[in-house]
A and B are shown apart, each in its own frame.
Chain A
Amino acid sequence: MSARDRDRDAVRLHVVTGKGGTGKTTVAASLALALASGGRTVLLVEVEGRQGVARLFGTGPLPYEEREIAAPFEGGRVRALAADAESALLEYLEMFYGMRRAGQVLTRFGAVDFATTIAPGMRDVLLTGKATEAVRRRTGERRRSRDSDTGRHVYDAVVMDAPPTGRIAQFLNVNAEVAGLARVGPIRHHADKVMATIRSAQTAVHFVTVLEEMPAQETLDGIGEIRAAGLNVGSIVVNMVRPPFFPDPVLGSVAEGRFDTDALVRGLKAAGFEDAEETARGLAREVGEHALRVAGESAIRARLDVLDLPRLQLPLLSGGVGPDALHVLAGRLREQGV
C-alpha cells in the first residue's frame, strides 16, 4: 500500500498550501472533487476571504455557510465554506457558551473587531478551529456535544485552501501562538483541542509548487517548518507541468548548443512553409529556451526528490481554469491514487 492509499483512509483534514501563483486554490478544489468521488462527502474551506473558490466554480460569493458547490462525475458531494474570523467567533460563542446576545454586545463594543484583527493569533485559532470542528463533527449530534464519538462523521474529508507557504507553519501552529498569551482558560482549551486534531495522523499538509526556483525553495523551507512544528506533511503537488515535446537526448544536445536546424528546415519545407529558413530560426530559438527551462525544471525535481515524499503532478492548462477544468484535474488526481 502506498503512502497515498493510506492517506485516503487515514487523513481527513487536507491542508493545501503553496506560494502565491502556484495554483493552490485550484489544487484544493480539484482535490476536494477527487476525494468526493465514489459517493463521499467533502467540505472545501477557504480561509483568506478572497472568494477564490467561488470564482473557480463560477458561482457568486460564498457565505459563512456550508453549501453544495459541485458534484463529482462519479457521485459524491462537495460543499464549500468561506470561513471568516468574525463569523467564526460569533458561532463559537453561541456554540460553546450559548452566548448569542453577548456576541452582539461584543460586536457593538468593537470587541469582535479587536479579537479578530488586533489580538495576535486569534484569527488563526478561529479559522483552524472551524475547519477542525468540521473534521470532528458527527451525524445526529446536538450542537453542544459535537465531540462525542457516536454517529458517522458528517464529512469524509475536509480540504482547506490554506494561507500561503510562507505563513502556513505559523497559521497551523496556533497553539504555540496562544500558549504565549493564555496559559489557562477557555481559549487555551479550545486551541489545545484544535491542535490535537492538527497534530494527529488525521491531518496532512500538502504543498503545491511549480517547477520554478522560488516556489520550490519556499516549499522546501515550508516543509522544514511544518516538520519542526511536529505536523504531518502529505504530498508535494507539482502543478502546471508542461508536456514533454522532445526526447531527452534532443534537449541535451540543444542545451549544449548543438541543434539540427537543417533537419528543421527540411521538415518545414516538407510541410509547405515558404519561409522555412526564417521560421526555422525562430523555432530553434524557442526550442533553445525550452531546453533551458526543462534543464532548470529537472534540477528542481532533483531537489524535491531528496525529500522522499509522495509526489502528485497536474498539467498546465493553457486555456485557463474553469469549473470543467477542475473535473479534469480531479480525474488526474484520481489516476494518481488520490
Chain B
Amino acid sequence: MSAESAQGRGRAAARFDVDGLLADRGTRIVVCCGAGGVGKTTTAAAMGVRAAEAGRDAVVITVDPARRLAQSMGLRELDNTPRPVELPETGRGAVPGSLHAMMLDMKRTFDEIVEAHADPERARQILANPFYQSLSSSFSGTQEYMAMEKLGQLRESGDWDLIIVDTPPSRSALDFLDAPERLGRFLDSRLIRILGAPPATGAFRVLGAGVGMVTGVIAKIVGAQVLKDVQSFVAAFDAVFGGFQERAERTYRLLQERGTGFVVVAAPEDDALREAEFFIERLRDDRMPLAGIVLNRVHRTAVPDLPEQAATAAAAELDRLGDHALAAAALRLHAEQARVQDREQWLMDRLAAAHPEVPAAEVPARPEDVHDLVGLAEIGRALGEG
C-alpha cells in the first residue's frame, strides 16, 4: 500500500450529481441496475426519498425487496398499486414533494395485460391454461417483462412526475432491455408458427417435412399433453402478444430518450465492479442514457493520514513495550480498515480508468443496516453529497 492512495482519492471519475438528476424536472424515469447484493433496492428507495425532499412527486417500483426494507416504506405485500409513503419531517420542515412505492406482482401484471388485450372468453381460456400459469408465475424472464410493462403503464398514465425503477436481480439484470427483442424472437420463431398453426395449413406446407419431425420430437420429450397445452396457449395468446410487444417497444424507445437516466449501482468489490462494467458497456451498446454509477458501502477510515503499515508497526512497538493493549488493538483495527480502504480504492480507480466518462457517487459504509425512512433519508443525503 502506498501513503498516496491512503490519502488521496486516486484518479476519481467526475462526481455524479445525484441531486441534480433528481431535482431536474426534465428527469422522468430513473432506472437502477446492478448485480444482486449491492444495495440496489436501497439506492432506489433512498433516491425516492431524496427526490421527494427536492419537491418531486416520485414513485418507486421495486421487485422483491428485502422484507425490512419493504416495511420501512410501509409495504406489506405484493401489490400492484403504488402506495403513499409517510415521509418524516426533515430539519427544514415538511417534505415538499411526495413518495409512493409499489412492489411488483408479476403474475397479476401479466393477468392484467391478458385481460386488457383479449376478449373475455379468450382471456378466460388463457388464464386457465396450465402452460400460461407456469409462464406467468415462474418463467425466468417474466419479472423483466413485467417490470418493463409496469414502467410503461405508469409513464403513460401521466400521473407520475418521476418514476424510479429497481430492476430485478437476475443473472443479467439488463434482460430488462432484451424484453422486446426476446418477445419478438419468440413470436417470430418458426417454432411458434408451427405450434400455433392448425395442422395442414400455411406454416406446415411452407416448412415442409421437418415440421412433423419437430412436433414429433417435442411430443416425445415433453409429452403430447404439454404440447397440446402449449398449442392452445399460443393460439389464444396471439392477439395479446401483439399489444404487449408494441408496448414493450414503446417503453424501450422511451428509455432511450432524454428524461431517462440509468444509474448503475455497485459496491467496491471485484465481482460487483466487473458486473458494473458489463452494465456500462451494455447500456452504451443499446444507446441508453447512463446518468452515473453509485458506489455503495465505501469504507473510509477516520484517520486518513495513518497508513496500514505505520499502524501495524506502531501496534507491534506497543506490544513490545507492553501495557498498552487497548491502543495496540485500536491500531490493528485501523490497519485492517486501511487495508480494506486501499483495496476498494484500487478497484474503484480501475473502473474510473476504464470508464473515465462515467461520473460516480460514493456512499459510505454504515455500521448498521438501513431499515427505516430516517435511514433511507440519510443514504439519500449521502447520495446527494456523493
Residues of chain A whose beta carbon lies under 8 Å from any beta carbon of chain B: 19-22, 48-50, 52, 55, 93, 97, 99, 102, 105-106, 108-111, 113-114, 117-121, 123, 164, 166, 170, 177, 180-188, 212-215, 217-218, 221, 242-243, 245-246, 250, 260, 263-264, 266-268, 270-273, 279, 281-287, 289-290, 292-293, 296, 318-321
Asked if B368 and A187 sit within 8 Å, CB to CB, the answer is: no
Q: Which residues of B contact A296 (CB under 8 A)?
A: 367-369
Q: Is the CB of A182 within 8 A of B223?
A: yes
Q: Which of B222-268 contact A (CB under 8 A)?
A: 222-226, 229-230, 267
Give the residues in chain A near B229, CB-CB below 8 Å. 181
Return chain A residues, CB-CB under 8 Å to B15: none
* Contact across chains for A217 and B67 when beta carbons are under 8 A apart: yes
Q: Which residues of B contact A263 (CB under 8 A)?
A: 324, 326-327
List 5 other contacts, CB 8 Å, given A105-B210, A286-B337.
A164-B169, A166-B64, A183-B223, A271-B327, A271-B331
Query: Which listed residue (A21, A48, A177, A279) contacts B269, Cβ 8 A?
Result: A21
Of B37, B67, B270, chain A has the most CB atoms within 10 Å of the CB of B37
Q: Contact: A19 with B37, CB < 8 Å?
A: yes
User: Contact: B367 with A289, CB < 8 Å?
Assistant: yes
Give a binary string over B312-337; 1 marks a CB under 8 Å from any A CB, 0 the rest: 00110110010010111111111011
Q: Does B218 touch A at the CB level, under 8 Å? A: yes
Surface stretch bound by A, among B119-127, B149-157, B184-192? B184-192
> Which of A117, A166, A184, A270 is within 8 Å of B324, CB to CB?
A270
The contact of B35 among A20, A106, A181, A271, by CB within 8 Å, is A20
B201 to chain A, nearest CB (A): 17
> Which B residues, 71 to 90, have Cβ-Cβ distances below 8 Å to chain A?
none
Is B9 interfacial (CB-CB < 8 Å)?
A: no
- Majority SS at the chain A contact face: helix
Task: Kindly state the separation between the CA atoms of A184 and B219 in the bound complex, as whole angstroms.
Answer: 11
A273 to B139 Cα, complex, angstroms: 62
Using CB atoms, name the residue of chain B closest to A25: B271
B343 within 8 A of A: yes
Cβ–Cβ < 8 Å partners of B186 in chain A: 114, 118
Measured CB to CB, the nearest residue on chain A to B324 is A267
CB-CB < 8 A to A286: which residues of B? 301-303, 330, 333-334, 337
Pick from A182, A273, A281, A319: contact of B222, CB under 8 Å: A182
Contact yes or no, A287 B225, CB < 8 A: no
CA distance A290 to B194 in the complex (A): 63
- B-side contacts of A109, CB under 8 Å: 189-191, 194, 210, 214
Closest 6 CB pairs of A and B: A267-B327, A185-B223, A20-B36, A21-B37, A20-B37, A282-B303
B369 touches A212 (CB 8 A): yes
A32 shortest CB reach to chain B, Å: 18
User: Is B133's CB under 8 angstroms from A49's CB?
Assistant: no
Confirm or deny: B206 has a beta carbon within 8 angstroms of a beta carbon on chain A: no
Q: How far is the CB of B228 from the nearest CB of chain A, in Å? A: 11
B223 touches A188 (CB 8 A): yes
A105 near B226 (CB under 8 angstroms)? no
Instruction: List A contacts of B221 (CB < 8 A).
Output: 93, 97, 185-187
A215: nearest residue on chain B (CB-CB)?
A: B37
Can you list 30 pairs linking A and B with CB atoms under 8 Å apart? A20-B36, A20-B37, A21-B35, A21-B38, A21-B272, A48-B171, A55-B271, A55-B274, A102-B213, A109-B189, A109-B210, A110-B191, A117-B182, A120-B137, A164-B169, A181-B222, A185-B226, A186-B222, A213-B66, A214-B66, A217-B66, A245-B336, A264-B326, A264-B330, A270-B327, A271-B317, A271-B327, A282-B301, A318-B343, A320-B343
The distance from the CB of A113 to the nearest CB of chain B, in whole angstroms, is 7
Q: Please, which residues of chain B bring their CB within 8 A of the CB of A289?
A: 367
B371 within 8 A of A: yes
The smallest beta-carbon distance between A203 and chain B, in angstroms, is 21
Alpha-carbon gap, A316 to B330, bound state (A):
18
- Count contacts on B: residues with CB < 8 A to the other chain: 77
The answer to whether B135 touches A120 (Cβ under 8 A) is yes
Q: Flag whether B217 is at the interface (Cβ < 8 A).
A: yes
> Bound state CA distance, A332 and B225, in angstroms?
51
Is B339 part of the contact surface with A, judged by Cβ < 8 Å?
yes
B68/A267 in contact, CB under 8 A: no
B324 and A271 contacting across the interface, CB-CB below 8 Å: yes
B272 touches A287 (CB 8 A): no
Q: What are the residues of chain B within 8 A of A318 when measuring CB–CB?
A: 336, 339-340, 343
Measured between beta carbons, the chain B residues less than 8 angstroms from A188 are 223
**Chain B 164-202 per-residue mask, 1 if CB under 8 angstroms from chain A, else 0:** 000001010000000000100110011110100000000
Given A19-B36, A273-B314, the answer on whether A52 and B369 have CB atoms closer than 8 Å is no
A164-B36, A282-B303 as given contacts; A121 in contact with B182, CB under 8 Å: no
Q: How far is the CA of A218 from the CA of B371 in the complex (A)?
A: 15
Query: What residue of chain B has the Cβ atom nearest to residue A110's Cβ?
Result: B189
A289 to B303 alpha-carbon distance, docked (Å) = 13
Residue B205 at the chain A interface, CB threshold 8 Å: no
Instruction: Check if A170 sits within 8 Å of B138, measured CB to CB.
Output: yes
> Is the beta-carbon distance between B138 and A245 smaller than 8 angstroms?
no
Are B225 and A184 closer than 8 Å at their CB atoms?
yes
Whole-angstrom distance between the alpha carbons of A183 and B223 in the complex? 9
Say whether B191 contacts A111, CB under 8 Å. yes
Residue of B nearest to A89 (CB): B221
B169 touches A166 (CB 8 A): yes
Q: Does B7 contact A (CB under 8 A)?
A: no
Inter-chain CA distance A93–B169, complex, in Å, is: 32
Most chain B CB atoms below 10 A, which of A50, A183, A264, A318? A318
In contact, A186 and B324 (Cβ under 8 angstroms): no
The CA-CA distance from A78 to B303 in the complex, in Å, is 44
CA A33 to CA B301, docked complex, whole Å:
35
Which one of A264, A284, A292 has the highest number of Cβ atoms from chain B below 10 Å of its Cβ? A264
The answer to whether A114 and B314 have CB atoms under 8 Å apart is: no
State in angstroms the CA–CA spacing of A22 and B64 once bound together.
Answer: 18
* Residues of the B chain whose Cβ atoms lie less than 8 Å from the Cβ of A120: 131, 134-135, 137-140
Whether A177 contacts B222 in the complex (CB less than 8 A), given A19-B36, A271-B324, comes out as no
Q: Is the CB of A283 within 8 A of B324?
A: no
Cα of A164 to Cα of B169 in the assembled complex, Å: 10
Q: Which residues of B contact A287 (CB under 8 A)?
A: 330, 333
The smallest beta-carbon distance between B107 and chain A, in angstroms, is 12
Confirm or deny: B130 has a beta carbon within 8 angstroms of a beta carbon on chain A: yes
Expressed in whole angstroms, the Cα–Cα distance for A123 and B171 within the complex equals 13
